[in-house]
Amino acid sequence: MLLNFLALVVTGVVRFFQPFSIEVTRVHMLCGFAVTVLIGVHILGRLRQMRSMVRGKGGWNIMPIVLSLLFSGLYWSAAWYAWPGAREVVGLSYESRHKGEIFRHRSDVLGEAGEAGLYAFKLATERSSIDVMLDWTKAGEEAEKSVAIWVETKSGSMIETLYISEGLRFSEDVGWEGGEVKRGEILPVWRNRYTAICGVGPDGLHDAISGPTKNHKFDLANNLSSRDAFAVYVEVNVAGDEQPSVLYVGLVDPESTNPYTLLSLLGTGEGAFKSGSINYDLSDLSSVRGVVDKVLVRTEWGGK
């Protein structure tokens, strides 16, 4: 029990100060389960001793139980309702200090990566949804790569990110090609567009101009329900090929009778770290061209 408790404490501290890690979370959860079981066994073996603590020669003494429940209830309430003190402590955690850069899927979005490709699905309503299916070539299956999938309005404002590779979701500083770089250097076009959602630029500074506004609804469900056209973007970068990220795009039009949209290669993210601008010159691309087989989008519209 002591060893599992120590592992629980260590992983809890790591989760407090470091970006999210599924490995650390898995150890934390399983050690917590082990400690719970072992405490139960410990209590069962000492029921007589615990009974003597509350029942002596002078009668029942329930004060230890009452005080334990009282202080535990106050402690749990402070944590649940973020009372002063608890709020400040949690504010020191990595999650709180970097909440502007952390990406998490919405509850109605599913993103899944496999060896043969990627799949992103959003269920907006019972009648409207979007599927994005990316297939790798044989070379793409074997390569180390990072991917972002997002949607924008026709005027170029990001609506919502549907998928981003797991290693880029929780921190601006990520491991890439044996070192640590900014994720804006890996997927520069996406990262610049994402500023409109998080309000923090790739340089880590607050962007008051392109930051979130009260009038902008960052949810693709609004477009699907009102049948407003939108563009789907996919940015891919392959490690070790000395090539910039490549960008695929397709306009999804509600007036089309075909529910499928095939995305086309548009340009690269070369030099886009600061401005987010797209380089449309594809003449220098070589190996990265042979990574993506196709990107197909299927749309079910709501509304009318």
* Confidence check: pLDDT of 63 > 90: no
* Confidence check: pLDDT of 57 > 80: no
Q: pTM for this one? A: 0.79
pLDDT tens digits, one per residue of 20-52: 888 999 999 999 999 999 999 998 988 888 777
pLDDT tens digits, one per residue of 70-91: 999 999 999 999 999 999 999 9
pLDDT of residue 207: 59
H-helix segments, the chain: 2-17, 22-44, 47-54, 63-80, 86-91, 94-97, 138-142, 183-186, 188-198, 220-226
pLDDT of residue 213: 46
* Confidence check: pLDDT of 188 > 90: yes
Residue 232 binned pLDDT confidence (cut-offs 50, 70, 90): very high
* Confidence check: pLDDT of 210 > 60: no
pLDDT of residue 214: 46
Which of the pair, 3 or 271, is modelled with greater confidence? 3
* Confidence check: pLDDT of 257 > 50: yes
To the nearest whole number, what is the mean pLDDT of the chain?
88
pLDDT of residue 103: 86
Cα 257 to Cα 196: distance, rounded to the nearest angstrom: 32
* Distance spanning both ends of the chain, measured CA to CA: 61
Which of the pair, 127 or 27, is modelled with greater confidence? 27
Residue 212 binned pLDDT confidence (cut-offs 50, 70, 90): very low
pLDDT of residue 127: 85
Domain ranges of the chain: 2-96, 109-300
Residue 156 binned pLDDT confidence (cut-offs 50, 70, 90): confident
* Confidence check: pLDDT of 204 > 80: no
Q: Which of 174, 167, 301, 187 is nearest to 248 (CA)?
A: 187
Cα 167 to Cα 134: distance, rounded to the nearest angstrom: 18
Residue 215 binned pLDDT confidence (cut-offs 50, 70, 90): very low
Confirm if 298 and 260 have CB atoms less than 8 A apart: yes
